Structure 1
Amino acid sequence: MPVKEKQPGLGKIINLLNNFVLMSIVVSWDGVMAQSVPGLVKFSLGRFQNLSVTRNFPVLTRIPGDITHIIFQFHSQYRNVTVSYDQAPTPNTSLTAHDAGLVSTLRLQQSSLQWYMESPEGKPVSGMAVILPYKARDPVPGSCNLEYNLDIEPNIYLHYNLFETVIRFAPANIGYARGQPAPSCAVSSGQSSRRRLKYDIYQYFLPENNLSEQIFIGHIQKMADIHEVAANGKKLMTLSSDDQPMVSFSSLPGQGVIYSIIVRDPLFNTSASYVPVHTYACSFTSTLDNCYTLGKISTKVFFTIAGMAGLFICFFGHRFFKSELFCMGFIFTAFLFFMLITETTRLSYDMRLSLTALMGVVGGVLLVLCWWRLGSPFLSILIVGLILGFLFSSIIFFTPIGDFEVFRSDVVFWLTFTGIAVVVPLICVRFPREGNITACGVVGGYTVILAVGSYTYTSLTYITLDILKRALNNNFSKAFTNVPFQRIDFIMCTVWAVLTVSGMVLQLYRERTRPVFPPSPYMMWKQERERRKTNILDPSYHVPPLRMRLKSRVEEMFRREEPAGERTPLLL
């Protein structure tokens, strides 16, 4: 036992000696001799600096006396880096992540600091680092941490899946001067405690369809400093100290998003920034389906065929009514069936998509048969109107209206969504031809957008995808569904509008002199049969019924042929 007690003390003494030697070099020669120490990097307050990390020792000197705590942070695009207070990292003194930061509180008369960085894989990791200073009245991010390993946790923890991205953080504490103890975090109320602090949640989108590391390094600097965050980020909400320190968002695979939190002290009108975190909601290192190869082949094939069919019904749907009904029945049945098998089975994505396509074909055929047999287009128009109403309601909730607090309730959301979706088919029944042509233009144009979205990122695909996510995930109601709207999205909106308007105008012009709907083939067959029964002058009247014709044909097939030969006596 005595030996085990001496080893930790010896290691601590060695670490202190190493720190003292390195700091002595920097302070004494002011960076001249620093170049002879491998990995030693000198920083300045507030200055962003590019680093290539293998094993580095960031050092900060000449810290002003009014600075009470400092946040050191490092960001790489996707490779992890370990940042530590000590040269020998431990879980309580270090953090390994691609967005990592540490808070250092300063002692009296302290004017220099040092941290340690290393690459866990042993390979160089490029990124950007910055050191941000704060004063006595500024809040201390993560100072009331009770959940994570570090004593003071300024980092934002991010987790994502197919449906949502969730960020969590440790509560902050009010600021305090050098040499003074930190205020208690256990105070339950009062304006003199941390309960007065507010947390502003910010979001920033990187350029669409751009996974460049240089682009990331340039834009992460816009979300590190307080003033830059407020100027460039989009403020989504404000949490109080009584709220749960967690916020969820809709996942956007392949789209870079930066999240940052600013904690404010309303009493002193001061603020501090947590270490920002970013995600692409995908993996850069996985062998299959990584950020560079997003989109399965099955998805591309499925939506490419759907886009071609949608382009056809956009311009010719009403003229070729049976083809339109098949496509609409396919969409209606496939959407419902995909939700059903996703909710009730654990089949692979490709298997679910194959079964969805099969059931979509069955649904399309059934809708065509219903119209063929019943002869009334109103049932078909109701289905078409429901699809148009679903899309129209999805567009409404795709706007900022969908993030209103009242719609966090599933009951309110689904009642409102269903009410809007049901109104549209009622209008279509009142104006059947115009409603059907409108549905052809809008739905057909959107399937083209979905086909494009299977090859390149566009936010318009989330018009319906967010509704699907909410239907399949019980916790998605708490997620913010904000998405970027950049140049590609404006182009896709223009394409959608042009397809919709041109398709509607073309069909309305061409169908203006035709019947509202083409006659049902079954009804035409019945009328033709009745006409043949009553019109004896029609040659077809004397044609035997189909049943008799088939019977006679079968009898001919099995009738025995008579032998050929002379049947009359020969004349002598």
Structure 2
Amino acid sequence: MGLSVKTSVKIVYFFILFTLKSMTCTKWDDGEIVNISLNNSIPTLYNSEVFSLTTTLSALSTVTVSIADISLLLGFLIVQVHSFKKDFILSFSRNLSIANYVNGTNLGLMLEATNPKALYIINNSPNETLDLYFSIHAYYKNAPVPGGCNMEFNVVDAPFMRIEQNNFFITVDIGPARIFVDGDCDASSMNVTHNFYKMYLNEWDHSVDGYFEGLKKMITVESILEHGTHVPHISTYSPMRRLFSLYPGIGSFYAVIAKNNKMSSAYVPIHTYSYENNYVTWTDISVMIAATIIGLIMNFIGYKLFSFQFATVGLLFAIMLIYTLINFITESLISIAIFYITGFILLYACLKFSTCIYSPLPAMFALGFQLACIIYYSIPDGVLQHSEMFWTVFTGIILITTLLPFFHHGYNIAYPIIGSFCLSIMLDSIIGSYLRYIIINTLRRISVDDFNVAIIDPPYQWRDLTITIFWLLMTLVGIFLHVKNSSKRYVYSDSLQTPLLVTTRNSPPVVYGAIHD
């Protein structure tokens, strides 16, 4: 009895599904030769990917990849191989030399379509099996070759990117592109533009699935334009380099599109988690404790302890100063001790001499500093790259806020905003958002060389939105409490509420009138 048409269609469907799945999820072992046929596939204008494969590579293994059936219309191929976190080697030969291989996690090499060489993927790790994404990108002859005018990297054509980082920056470098049919780097430098793009992964998502999903969104010109955020060129810096402010723990992909007047091509995207260690340091603990104490006092009971609330502004500035030194110089218990000693010395000084200072002034000054930090955090990159412009805007915001006409009652607004932000820093450190970089980025801009050309563009996802809502609610509660109780204060400092004439129990009565014998 023959099969029905419906049953036959189901069998064919499941066969095709099984075949496609086996092509996209395989395992490579040592000594394996992988033959790939492109079946004369050609790319579209913005989608150059003609073959892709998700696979694993066993420990201490070398795999040979051979590519065939390449269309005669093509000029060159970019073979990309991406590993999840672990380094590997991509080479033109089994015998490694300085000019025939690259190593890292996001690699690629250029092959001429008319003479495709075999490639070797090498995993030298004795224990680690690599999760890999293998991808082939095809380009026509008039397309720019990413990294074709490379003068920095070992291989002649370097379509990959280099990434470096320290405590403050992520630095991304590329080699200039050239037109494939031309080959003249001088002419190409005039006709090819390079546009950088960036994309954040979900905050604190370090999963292999999240990594490869993000990779696929930044691997072709089409997907880069759809998902990436364009990174402007800072005019005073090399067009082949971008500096990014570092945000620890969040994954980010960086991509570059080389474009002439006819075609576009994509560099091999590169990725970093920055410093993904999610441990709490002594600095973090100290800042959280101090911020929590200051936030609770200034936001909820400051109207009862007005001199103490005023004094906490001095402690707050001490925290900014000492935290900067701790963060930029060392991480030790001695620095933590200096942090607390300095802070409480300033706290005592403010309490001791608060009656001599007009109290709304420092409160509004602190608010102005915070507003200036928020504006620098939010303003488009490149606007304040010149120090003259930065300091003019920064100090101008502080002075205008400090000297506002209504500053006589400004402490009812200033103290709750500052106090609620301190509480937000505490919660920010707990849930792992990045709103604290409102202050940190400003401190970096002031004290770190070359940070003026760094791209700020902070991540803003659900955790950051949660902290923003919390900050707003705490601010409203604090303003309500301060305004409600402000009528009970006769002067700006509670230390001045003592009557000028004090009558004690043993003092003689005061008699007004003529003096008689």
**TM-score, length of structure 1 as denominator length:** 0.76
Say yes or no: does 1:536 pair with 2:511: no
Task: Give the equivalent residue in structure 2 for 1:500.
Answer: 475
| Counterpart in the other structure of 2:319 | 334
Q: Once the 2 structures are TM-superposed, how far is the Cα of residue 299 of structure 1 from its aligned partner?
A: 1.3
Q: Say if 1:483 and 1:491 are closer, same or farther in 2 by CA, change over 3 A.
A: same
Alignment CA distance shift 1:280-1:329 (3 Å): same
Counterpart of 2:15 in structure 1 is none
Partner of 1:313: 298
* Counterpart check, 1:105 vs 2:77: no
Determine the C-alpha separation between the residues in 1 that align with 2:198 and 2:387.
24
User: Is the 1:260–1:273 Cα contact (8 Å) retained in structure 2?
Assistant: yes
Given residue 183 of structure 2, which amino acid in structure 1 is its aligned partner?
P
Cα distance, 1:36 vs. partner?
Answer: 11
Q: CA deviation at 1:371?
A: 1.3
Which residue in the other structure is 2:43 paired with?
none
Write the letter of the residue equivalent to 2:55.
L
The match for 1:144 is 149
Deviation digits for residues 158-208 of structure 1 (CA, Å, limit 9, x no counterpart)? 1111111111111110121xxxxx5222x3xxxx54321111110000001
Secondary structure of residue in 1 paired with 2:440: helix
Evaluate the alpha carbon distance shift between residue 150 and residue 533 of structure 1 in structure 2; reply closer, same or farther with a 3 A threshold. same
1:431 correspondence with 2:407:
yes
Q: 1:76 to 1:512 in 2, by over 3 A?
A: farther
1:125 has 2:130 as partner: yes
Note if contact 2:315-2:346 (Cα within 8 Å) is conserved in structure 1: yes
Match of 1:354 in 2: 337
Q: Displacement of 1:68 after TM fit?
A: 1.1
- For residues 221 and 415 of structure 1, do their structure 2 counterparts lie closer, same or farther at Cα, with a shift above 3 Å needed? same
| CA shift in 2, pair 1:516/1:431, >3 Å | farther
- For residues 29-178 of structure 1, what are the structure 2 equivalents within 5 Å? 38-43=31-36, 46-53=50-57, 54-107=61-114, 110=115, 113-122=117-126, 123-176=128-181
Please, which of 446, 457, 467 is the counterpart of residue 471 of structure 1?
Answer: 446
Separation of aligned partners in 1, 2:35 and 2:473: 57
Query: Contact between 1:329 and 1:365, CA under 8 Å: does it hold in 2?
Result: no
Letter in 2 for 1:496: W
Counterpart-to-counterpart distance in 2, 1:36 and 1:370: 75
Relative to total residues, which structure has the larger helix share, 1 or 2?
1
Counterpart-to-counterpart distance in 1, 2:278 and 2:433 = 15
Which SS does the other structure have where 2:463 is aligned?
helix
Structure 2: distance between partners of 1:426 and 1:238: 37
Matched-pair contact (CA < 8 Å) for 1:51–1:126: yes
2: CA distance, partners of 1:68 / 1:153: 16
* Partner of residue 392, structure 2: 415
Closer, same or farther: CA 132–351 of 1 in aligned 2, 3 Å: farther
- Secondary structure at the aligned position of 2:450 is classed as helix
The residue matched to 2:350 in structure 1 has which SS?
Answer: helix
Per-residue Cα deviation, 1:368-394 (whole angstroms, up to 9, x for no partner): 11114x3x5x1x322222211111111
Structure 2 counterpart of 1:230: 225
- Amino acid corresponding to residue 312 of structure 2 in structure 1: C
Partner of 1:400: 379
Aligned-pair distance for 1:236?
1.6
Aligned partner of residue 232 in structure 2, secondary structure: strand
> Partner amino acid for 1:381?
P
Distance 1:324 1:35, change over 3 A: closer
- Shift of the 519–483 alpha-carbon distance from structure 1 to 2, 3 Å rule, reads closer
Q: Does 1:215 align with 2:210?
A: yes
Look up the SS of the partner of 2:144 in the other structure.
Answer: coil
Structure 1 position 421, deviation (Å) = 1.2
1:147-296, aligned counterparts within 5 Å? 147-176=152-181, 183-185=183-185, 187=186, 193-237=188-232, 243-266=238-261, 268=262, 270-282=263-275, 291-296=276-281
1:510: Cα distance to partner?
2.9
CA 1:235–1:495 in 2, change beyond 3 Å: closer, same or farther? same
Instruction: After superposition, give the CA deviation of every residue in 1:519-566 in whole Å (9 maximum; x if it has no partner).
Output: 326x738643xx45995139xxxxxxxxxxxxxxxxxxxxxxxxxxxx
Q: Which amino acid aligns with 1:426?
A: L
Deviation at 1:348, TM superposition (A): 3.5
1:205-227 CA-to-partner distances (Å, cap 9, x unmatched) read 00012111211111111101110
Cα 1:307/1:40, change in 2 over 3 Å: farther
Asked if structure 2 preserves the Cα contact closer than 8 Å seen for 1:76 and 1:125, the reply is: yes
**Contact 2:307/2:493 (CA < 8 Å) preserved in 1?**
no
Following superposition, the deviation at residue 86 of structure 1 comes to 1.0
Residues 473, 229 of structure 1: CA spacing in aligned structure 2 closer, same or farther, 3 A cutoff?
A: same
8 A Cα contact 1:83 1:96, kept in partner = yes
CA distance in 2, matches of 1:409, 1:265: 31
State the shift of 1:119 in Å: 1.2
Q: CA deviation at 1:465?
A: 0.6
Q: 1:520 is paired with a residue of what secondary structure?
A: helix
Aligned pairs for 1:18-33 (under 5 A) are none
Question: Structure 1, residues 373-416: CA drift from partner, whole Å, max 9, x if none?
Answer: x3x5x1x3222222111111111111133x1x341101210121
Equivalent residue in structure 1 for 2:360, among 381, 384, 402: 381
Does the Cα contact within 8 Å between 1:318 and 1:440 map onto a contact in 2? no
Residue identity opposite 2:184 in structure 1 = S
- Counterpart CA distance in 1 for 2:501 and 2:194 is 74
Q: Which runs of 5+ in 1 are unaligned?
A: 1-33, 177-181, 283-290, 539-572
Cα distance change of structure 1 residues 239 and 452 upon mapping to structure 2, 3 Å threshold: closer
Greater mean alpha carbon deviation, residues 138-147 or residues 504-513: 504-513
Matched positions, count: 468
Cα displacement (A) at 1:249: 0.8
Task: Give 1:347 deviation, angstroms.
Answer: 4.2
After superposition, where does 1:526-565 map in structure 2 within 5 Å? 527-528=501-502, 531-532=503-504, 535-537=507-509
Equivalent position amino acid for 1:167 in 2: V
Closer, same or farther in 2 for the Cα pair 1:392/1:357, shift >3 Å?
same
Answer whether contact 2:283 2:323 (CA < 8 A) is retained: no
Contact 2:305 2:494 in 1 (8 A): no
Change in Cα spacing, 1:42 to 1:516, as seen in structure 2 (3 Å) is farther
Larger CA Rg, structure 1 vs 2: 1
Q: Distance in 2 between matches of 1:114 and 1:208?
A: 39
Q: Percent identity?
A: 21
Using the TM superposition, give the Cα deviation of residue 239 of structure 1 relative to its aligned residue in structure 2, in angstroms.
Answer: 8.4
Q: CA RMSD in A?
A: 2.6
Cα distance in 1 for partners of 2:160, 2:112 equals 16
- Match of 2:377, as an amino acid? F
Once residues 274 and 306 of structure 1 are traced to their aligned partners in structure 2, the CA distance between those partners, rounded to angstroms, is 44
Match of 1:29 in 2: none
Where in structure 2 are there 5+ consecutive unaligned residues? 1-26, 39-48, 511-517
CA distance in 2, matches of 1:77, 1:388: 44
In structure 2, the CA distance between the partners of 1:421 and 1:70, relative to structure 1 (3 Å rule), is same
Checking the alignment, whether the CA contact within 8 Å between 2:29 and 2:63 is kept in structure 1 is no
In the superposition, the TM-score normalised over structure 2's length comes to 0.84
